[in-house]
Amino acid sequence: MQSNKKPANRKLAPNGVIGPQRIIISGGGTGGHIFPAIAIANALKKLNPQHEILFVGALGRMEMEKVPAAGYQIIGLDIQGIQRGSIWKNVMFPVKLLKSVRKALTIIKDFKPNAVVGVGGYASGPLLYAASLKGIPYLIQEQNSYAGVTNKWLSKKAETICVAFDGMGQFFPQDKIIKTGNPVRKESVDIANKRISSLELLKLSTAKKTILITGGSLGAGTLNKSVMAGLDKLIAADVQVIWQTGKYYYKDIVEKLGENYHPNIRIMEFLNRMDLAYAAADVIISRAGAGTIAELCIIKKPVILVPSPNVAEDHQTKNALALVQTNAAMLVADRDAEEKLIDKVLELLKDAAKRKTLGDNIGKLALPNADEVIAKEVIQITIDN
């Protein structure tokens, strides 16, 4: 772990093991927020199975399903984010925000947490603000290389801010920052000795180069359009493609191409076993969410990132540039992808030296034990307070 935090006279907990604590973890909205949050909860339980953990999320968002499936209780707030490009969709925002803060105060009163963790997402702001009003110590887990407005504002009263990228002192008080990395799903990055079995399971050749294209569980329209535009080139190059379309796009693509379009092309709605997909790949094409980047650093494969332009503060582009600047990834802009992406990946497949350099450099950025480090910091703030 690389730490930027100034030394403090803290009462240290041996390996984070103390008596049972009550902890609220707030946030969600996307898998990129939820899965790290669950990883932190699991790490806390590993430290002490008697820790009581409550999640607070946003009603109608995927955390309301994923968190109970992971075995944890969750309470939903009626909160939404600012809707860019539509004034009318924001009319109810102030009302929902006030209502959510009031409910968060009630949750804190009832649960009596020793500490609160904010992982980002709609529910994180109201819950952390309520914690600050009640004097409950809280930790912010900032996943991106460019901090959002809410986290910057809430950082003033945070005990600790766990980050995944260098240079975060431009957003947060330097003495509160610890570089921990982003928690990942351990089962997704466990790829050792799985390449051959993965390719055989997917009915692909072990003698051909393989491209993994993934736009997340919902999918990425730009990536899918880019593949469609480059199918003839991919087939002519005799390379294999594991094409994860996402649920929004799968039906239309299969209707156009058929499920068994070509022996070299595997069209899949969702990848339940990311470890097998990662293991099979020689090159990966992906969006640039912070959680995805954390996984890519651990698996040490060459990557072409196509950042989504449809996110707050364009943080995916900033995440991708943090890797590009150290020659740890390649970047193709969303607006250029349909024209250039497939040519770029085919060039990379022909350049073994470039692939090795990218794989080696991205691997140097890996912080594989982020969940455990963050969990210990959460317990630490309960001791310090």
Q: Which residues are annotated as a binding site for UDP-N-acetyl-alpha-D-glucosamine?
A: 30-32, 144, 185, 217, 316
Q: Are 162 and 140 in contact (CB under 8 A)?
A: yes
Identify the three-state secondary structure at position 299: helix
Q: Which amino acid does the sequence have at 296?
A: L
* Alpha helices by DSSP H, 112-236: 124-134, 149-154, 195-201, 221-236
20 close to 352: Cβ distance less than 8 angstroms: no
What backbone phi and psi angles, to 5 degrees, belong to 78?
-85, 80
Closest C-alpha to 282, from 262, 297, 300: 300
Q: Which residues contact 197 (CB under 8 A, 6 or more apart)?
A: 276
Distance CA 301, CA 278 (A): 8
85 torsion bin: left (phi>0), alpha (psi -120 to 50), beta (else): left
Write out the H or E segment, with its range, that includes residue 303: strand 303-305
Alpha helices in 237-351 (DSSP H): 250-257, 274-280, 290-299, 315-324, 334-349
Annotated binding site: 30-32, 144, 185, 217, 316
Three-state secondary structure call for residue 182:
coil
**Residue pair 246/270 in contact by the 8 Å Cβ criterion:** yes
Cα–Cα distance measured from residue 148 to residue 142, given in angstroms and rounded to the nearest whole number: 9
The helix (run of H) or strand (run of E) holding residue 376 is helix 370-384
Burial of 170 per CB tally in 10 Å (0-12, 13-18, 19+): exposed
The amino acid sitting at 165 is F
